[in-house]
Structure 1
Amino acid sequence: MSHRIPLPLQNTSLNSGFGEFFRYHGWLAPGIRLFRSIGFRAKALWVACAFMAPLVVALYFLQTDESSQIDVGRAELRGIDYLRPAIDLMRAAQARRYALTAQLPDIAERQDKVREAFRALSAHHDALGKELDDAAAFAVLQKSHEALLSGPAPATPDEAFRSHSEYVAMVTALIGQVANGSQLALDPELDTYHLMNLAVLRLPLQAETTAQLRGIATLALRTKELSLPRRDRMTGDMAVLRYLDAEIRNSHREGVENIPENARLVDARDARAATQAFEAAIARILSDGSHDLTPAMLDNAGTAALDHQFALQKQALDRLEARLHTRITHLHAELYGQFGAALFFIALAGYLLLAFYKVMMGGLQEVSGHLKEITQGNLTTAPRPWGTDEAAQLMITLGEMQISLRRIVSVVIDSAENVQTASGEIASASMDLSQRTEQAAANLQQTSASMEQISSSVTQSAGTVAQASASVHDNAGAAERSGQAITEVIRTMDNIRASSGRIGEIIGVIDGIAFQTNILALNAAVEAARAGEHGRGFAVVASEVRALAGRSATAAREIKSLISASIEQVQGGSTVVGRAGEIMQAVVSNAGRIETLMREIADSTQHQHRGVGEVSGAVRELDQFTQQNAALVEQTAAASTALAEQSRRLSSEISFFKLA
């Protein structure tokens, strides 16, 4: 099987034992396991045996059934062969009985016929008695036969009739036993069964009943005495005879009249007419005594009836024998035909199986041969399929596989050469790369050392920048405080200038007062001069006041000039201080910006420090990666060399295949 799909496990018992055996193929597992362990020839033999076994069994049962039917037919033929002397013995005994009751002169002759018929029957008993199981019936008959022939003669006709009737009854019993022992009584076909019923069972009884009626009626006519026992016996026999007539008519209709060939060979009309004539004569005797009937007339009627009845019995027995021979011949022909047909189809099946085997083995051998050539590297062959069966399809598929395999091998050869070339180039490039990688690793180590130094320098710079930033911060604070002081100075200078202005105004007022005082002193002097002596003291005072006013005016003018100069100087100082304030403001502003820049520089330095650390770590990792890459490059170079070697080996191996 091409597909093996495991069934879902429902319990752990499927993992081993019985469940595991049937896990993949279910009920087909035994056959699949068997066929997987044997070759195709054994498989074909198993299949043939599997098909032959029921056919052989069927043929065996067919042969057994046909042989059984043939054996039954042969047994019936042997029964018929046995019955013929038994019927002859019955007829001879009936004739002797009639001779005794009718007191005919040929009793001794008829007794010899009885002995002769019994000897013939004894011979058949010796030959067929064991098979037909007639030992008991024949022993009783033999004993009665010996007693009847060797004993004293019967005293009266009635006693002779009774003893001989008992003897005939024993013959009839033997006939019944032979019919059963030979399976005549169980004949399986309709026409032969009714022929058997006529020839073996009903006609002998009819003949015996007719013979008994003939004997009693003849005795009654001869003695002219129809006693009550005789009447009763004749009445009973007439009833039996009518019953047998009905049975015979029924069997004749079913087994003879409905079959044209039997009707042509077994004609019952004469026997029926003779029997009816005899029955009419007996009926006349029973009804009125029929004194007009003579013993000779009744004898003729009875003898004619018996002759026709035995003639009909012989026709039926002969026809039964012929039909049994025909049946046996037909069974033989049917058996041979069935066996012939079976053997023909067996031979046909064997022929087809052999052809199938040859076709499959031929296809498998062809495929096997090409597969062996493929295993030896020969891809130049191509299978030659014939027909459209599975073996041909397999060869076509094999041819397509060879084409694909040739294409694949060709591609593999080209690819192997390309891989070999590429692997050489890769190995060379890998060696160069390895050297460059090693150089890069060395450079990275140097770079890593330099980055460590840079990191140390950046760390120191960061510290210095931090200190400078602190100093700048302090300077900025001092500059700011100086700016504030300058602002206060400017403010003070403005106050001084305002105060100086005010002082100037006051000095102006004083100068005005001094001028007015001088004028007043002058006026006072004029008045004092006018006053003369009286005004001399006032003149002195006025002179002193004038002098004081002059000095005050002079002092006021000097102070005013000083104040003016001071105001000018204060204004110049205020201007200078203003410029200095502006400069200090610029210094403070610049100091703030410098502080901001220093903080940014410090932050940048910190970032640079971290970045340099990260770069240093990255360089170290890059150095590790470079060293690992160098190792991998060396491995790649080794792998490329190995790949080149494997490519050469692959090229060597693939060159094993022959493409042309």
Structure 2
Amino acid sequence: MQVAQAPNSPMNFFRNLKLANKLLVSFVLILLISAVSGLYGLVQMERVNATATDLARQWLPAARNLQDMRYQLQRYRSQTMQHVMAQSSEEMAVYDKSMPKLWDELVQNQQSYAKYVRTDKERALLAEIGEELKAYAVQTAKVVDLSHQLLNDDASEILRGESLKISRGINTRLDALSEINHQATEETNQAGDDLYAAARWWVMALLLGSIVIGVALAVLIARSISRPLQSAVQLAQSVAAGDLSASITVQSRDEVGQLLQALKDMNTSLQRIVGQVRQGTDSIASASSQIASGNQDLSSRTEEQASSLEQTAASMEELTATVQQNAGNAQQANQMASAASQVAVRGGATVAQVVQTMSAINESSRKIVDIIGVIDSIAFQTNILALNAAVEAARAGDQGRGFAVVASEVRTLAQRSAEAAKQIKQLIDDSVSKVQEGSTQVDEAGRTMDEIVMSVRRVTDIMGEISVASHQQTSGIEQVTQAVTQMDQMTQQNAALVEEAAAATDALRSQAAALAETVSFFKLGAQSGLQATPALAPAALKSAPARAAIKAAAPLKAPSPALKRPAMSAGSKPPVLSPAKSAAAPQPQKAATADDGEWESF
């Protein structure tokens, strides 16, 4: 039977790496991709956070200032009209006290808006508003002065004339600034969406690449371990079935390849040993008829056979040491896999921190939505106040027509402010939704890291099983050594039985036949180069010198000094190579006489 691996492939370099190096390269590559993915996600989240911060600290405060300026200007104009319509000096004094405070707030908001200006157009519009506010203040001072002189018609004419014109100009420029802020808010929001989309696709691509590479490396490593082990199992099963003709091709230099090489050497040694045992049994059978006249020659041959068996036992000792070393290497690979599992767990903790960061960004966006709600509420209250002012103006009759017009304009502006606030709130809600989607994607990344950790733990379990299998092989080879030691002891007993050879010639011949039948269970194959020595004819036995029998037993050679095994006790049992095949081993025939019971254990 032929047991061979697949032909050579371009992956020879990876195949020849040690198992620890294969696992190290694989996990380092996967962790490197995961680290790149995590760093890229952090950078993109920082950019998205910067966009949201710019929106919260630049454009929203600027819009709030413009809204306050518009509101304060309308209130200032409204109180100016109420000053003109006042019926008493006490009522005028109330407005004389409140109007300067309102004007100071308006000027302060104008100055506060200056720190949010970014473009020359905004700067020019703000400067024009400042000039017009100065002109409006001059006109208002004239109106107040005429109101104190009870020249209400002249004051109303100024309010409906130059003062109204300047007020409309200020509102026009405030609208222009609001439009600039709205456009900038839209652009900032779009930039945030673009950053999120790019980050999402890149992170998905990196995760997919990590999964593909991880699966490929897992399959490659599993095949590099499982296929050679299958070959080793087939070889062991063949040996257990008595077929020593199987051959194995070693194509890697890792721990599994070393195991296959050791099994190959073991199979070759067993072929040589079994072939030599066959030759020895045939020689014993052919020389048994000469024992009466050549006891000394038989003694020499028996001693030589005992020496060969001792060398075989020493070879089995070294083979046991080699297998034990392989078991130690497998245990070291198991420890490396455990360390890689701990690194993957730390990667999962990093992804969990990313999830917490996304949650913090989501909470900040919700706070921005609350601020927009406050702006919307202010606009609604302004609308209610304008409506009340219109009602009061209707009650005043003809004297309240101008005030009704102003109240209508205030109401219109409040409605527009509320609509703008709703649009901003809708944009912020959309941003919050997309941040939540990002959090979901990061959660999926965390679960993927958990799956990687579980895969690493499964690899660790597999390495543990490999270590256990190596220890089991060591036990099996020790049993083989015990059997060889027993053979050595039996041969030494044969040397002692040479003194009784004259009386035991027939028993020795029958035991030699039984031994030949037992060894015939093993199939050596044509490549072994060993053939049984044919039994000599009776006529040849009479004429052949006694030394010829010694030369026939000479092919027994010592095994390679690289193989050693510890000696075993005489009471130990023969090895069992495979529990499933133990029933297939033939039982040796019982001796015809009680004097040669030791040959049965052989």
TM-score if structure 1 supplies the norm length? 0.36
Write 1 or 2 for the structure with the bigger share of helix. Answer: 1
User: Could you say which structure has the greater relative contact order, defined with CA pairs below 8 angstroms and 6 or more residues apart?
Assistant: 2
TM-score if structure 2 supplies the norm length? 0.39
